[in-house]
Amino acid sequence: MPFRDIAAWNALISAYEQNEKSKEALNIFQQLLADKSSKPNEVTLVCALSACAQLGAADMGSWIHVYIEKQCIKLNSYLCTSLIDMYSKCGDLERALDVFNSVKKKDVFTWSAMIAGHAMHGRGRAAIDIFSRMQDAGVKPNAVTLINVLSACSHAGLLEEGRFFFNEMQPLYGIKPQAEHYSCMIDILGRAGYFSEAMDLIKKMEAPYTASVWLSLLGACCLHANVSLAELAASRLLRLEPKNDGAYVLLSNVYAKSGNWDKVAKLRKLMKDSGLKKEAGCSSIEVNGTVDEFLVADNSHPMAREIYAKLDEIVSKLKTDGYVLNEPHILQVGDEESMKEQALYVHSEKLAIAFGLLCLAPPQPIRIVKNLRVCGDCHSFAKIVGVGAETTELYKSVCVKFQLEKECQFGDQILLVGDDPILGSWNPSDAIPFDWSEGHIWSLFLELPVGKPIQYKVLLKNSMGEVMWQPGPDRNFEAWETKNVITVTEEWDNAEAHKISEEQQAIEENEELMRNTLEEPSLPDSDRKAPRKEVAVGEGFERQAKADKNSAELGEEGNLVPLDEGPVLVPGLTQLSSSKEEYA
């Protein structure tokens, strides 16, 4: 082109960004800055920020933010929303909140972006608080706002809150639930193990069936290893999208988790015969303004030798500390144990973590963005490495014993969650379980950093996966340097009874007890009984924790909602009797 105006630049940057070619989009943006014949406008910056969000390029995103301020560009709704979205997706929720709080006149898009930011970080209660403030400000939510709220409830395990918002969508907000809202609600119910209720909701759907509905159910089945329902969901999903590789991968994970390696092999053969290939996992990390990308078992990086040496060092240290790989996340690669280990150790996110530890000095955060869902083993690996780096390199640590006396029903579990990554960053799915002992005493030993204020709460999780938060305010704790064990004694419903003391006992003596406790087998899901019925109050919602009898009775071999007979798209799927209701 003889002359490239800003509209031409914007068209090219937007084309790359919308086709998920974020690196190319940012390269064009940098060419625009160097060209100086045209000046970026609001549209340019929105597209560039979206590309940064996709890549996790926090440094570049921050530079654009500074550029906006230096050029005195007015922050309109689109720029504010883009900045909040970028910082949230790059893992810097505090910066996202700073931008959000700096906006004087917030519209529905600004509020919705901040709710989504809390949702993706597992901060469901904070997301609901933002939603309440939005209504107090007189801003009417739209359909996207409710999707973000339901997503926040799903990620934080807020079952009753999710039910409340979904049921009140039309009566209270005048918004008719669409397929996306149903997908979120099915995800909430499925994560909690309420499969019968999820299937009833699908039957009553007024919106057309979409792949996302069955994908949500299939993902929940993967979490709970519900084989028969997973086969059903995969079959219906593949009817809608025959080339959806995610359906095969999730179902294969269900089979692997249940130890059915024959069906894993059959499914992989079926994928191969159909010409389907699983999308390659790709993890990206930004170091000094440059984004590096890694694939599984990647050897193309210039520092590949150093990266693998660092990864070997990390794995060796973690094994010494008791780390065991999560084998159900291995899709069968061979019979040799070493081959199975190798398959997990070279996942792209582990390579990115090793590269980050080589190139970033504490306290710089390691932020990794992946195109696919992180597997369970890599999730555990990242938590252990992150906690280890923080506690050993930034803080001295001390042994802390949390203790609670509470009588529970068989199959219930007590957990600890808090604002620190060690305690799961308020995400119930990352909460740390207590150990039960005679007399209904629940105990938990942790190594916590000295001098670092921590907020926390105790959770009660029943056998159906429903989470109940400890009533009252968040508890506060700050460890001090000592050779003894600090004991934190809790009462479930009395915050004033919170006591902190120091036991005159050497940490070395306690480590043996911790090891013995960790070696005790956890209660298998098959031995858990139906949950209790009890009224609890939390986060402004009075919830009735009702047991879903149908869900409790639904086993892998149990009868599901009868569906029409059709072509068997998944090996091992049993054809079921016909029904009056036709599923797409």
Task: Answer positive or negative: Cα dihedral of 383, 386, 389, 395.
Answer: negative
For residue 386, what pLDDT band results from cuts at 50, 70 and 90? low
Return the percentage of the chain with pLDDT > 70, whole number. Answer: 79
Element (H, E) at 145: helix 143-156
pTM beyond 0.75, yes or no: no
Tokens representing residue 393 in the block: 């390199």
What is the spatial distance between Cα 280 and Cα 346, in angstroms, rounded to a whole number? 13
3-class secondary structure, 510? helix
- pLDDT(322) > 70: no
Nearest of 76, 88, 77, 101 to residue 52 by alpha carbon: 88
The answer to whether 432 and 517 are in contact (CB under 8 A) is no
The answer to whether 69 and 101 are in contact (CB under 8 A) is no
For residue 533, what pLDDT band results from cuts at 50, 70 and 90? very low
CATH of 397-521, one of 3.40.50.300, 3.40.5.50, 3.40.50.2300, 2.60.40.10: 2.60.40.10
pLDDT digits (tens, 9 = 90+) for 164-211: 999 999 999 999 999 999 999 999 999 888 999 999 999 999 888 899
- Give exposure, 134-143, as e/b (b: 16+ Cβ within 10 Å): beeeebebeb
For residue 504, what pLDDT band results from cuts at 50, 70 and 90? low
- pLDDT(52) > 50: yes
Residue type, 527: D
Segments making up each domain of the chain, as ranges: 1-105, 177-279, 284-371, 397-521
Task: Answer positive or negative: Cα dihedral of 432, 438, 440, 441.
Answer: negative
- pLDDT(364) > 80: no
3-class secondary structure, 412? coil
Tokens representing residue 25 in the block: 């989009």
For residue 321, what pLDDT band results from cuts at 50, 70 and 90? low
pLDDT digits (tens, 9 = 90+) for 426-451: 888 778 888 887 778 888 888 787 88
3-class secondary structure, 315? helix
Average pLDDT over residues 265-278: 84
Average pLDDT over residues 417-423: 84
Q: Report pLDDT for 521.
A: 40
Q: Report pLDDT for 220.
A: 92
Q: Report pLDDT for 512.
A: 45
Q: Report pLDDT for 324.
A: 65
What is the spatial distance between Cα 32 and Cα 463, in angstroms, rounded to a whole number? 57
Average pLDDT over residues 109-117: 96
- pLDDT(480) > 70: yes
Q: Report pLDDT for 200.
A: 94
The answer to whether 308 and 352 are in contact (CB under 8 A) is no
For residue 320, what pLDDT band results from cuts at 50, 70 and 90? confident
Nearest of 569, 581, 567 to residue 235 by alpha carbon: 569
For residue 327, what pLDDT band results from cuts at 50, 70 and 90? low
Fold that domain 177-279 belongs to in CATH: 1.25.40
Q: Which of 23-37, 236-250, 296-310, 420-434 has the lowest mean pLDDT?
A: 420-434
Q: Report pLDDT for 273.
A: 85
What is the spatial distance between Cα 570 and Cα 562, in angstroms, rounded to a whole number? 17
Task: Answer positive or negative: Cα dihedral of 443, 447, 450, 456.
Answer: negative
Q: Report pLDDT for 84.
A: 96
The answer to whether 273 and 44 are in contact (CB under 8 A) is no
Chain-centroid distance, C-alpha 452: 25
Tokens representing residue 389 in the block: 């780096």
**CATH number at 1-105:** 1.25.40
Equal CATH topology for 1-105 and 177-279: yes
- pLDDT(551) > 50: no
Mean pLDDT of the chain: 80
User: Does 446 or 526 have the greater pLDDT score?
Assistant: 446
- pLDDT(323) > 80: no
What is the spatial distance between Cα 579 and Cα 584, in angstroms, rounded to a whole number? 13
Best-predicted range by mean pLDDT among 50-59, 373-382, 502-511? 50-59
Q: Report pLDDT for 439.
A: 79
Q: Report pLDDT for 445.
A: 85
What is the spatial distance between Cα 149 and Cα 194, in angstroms, rounded to a whole number? 20
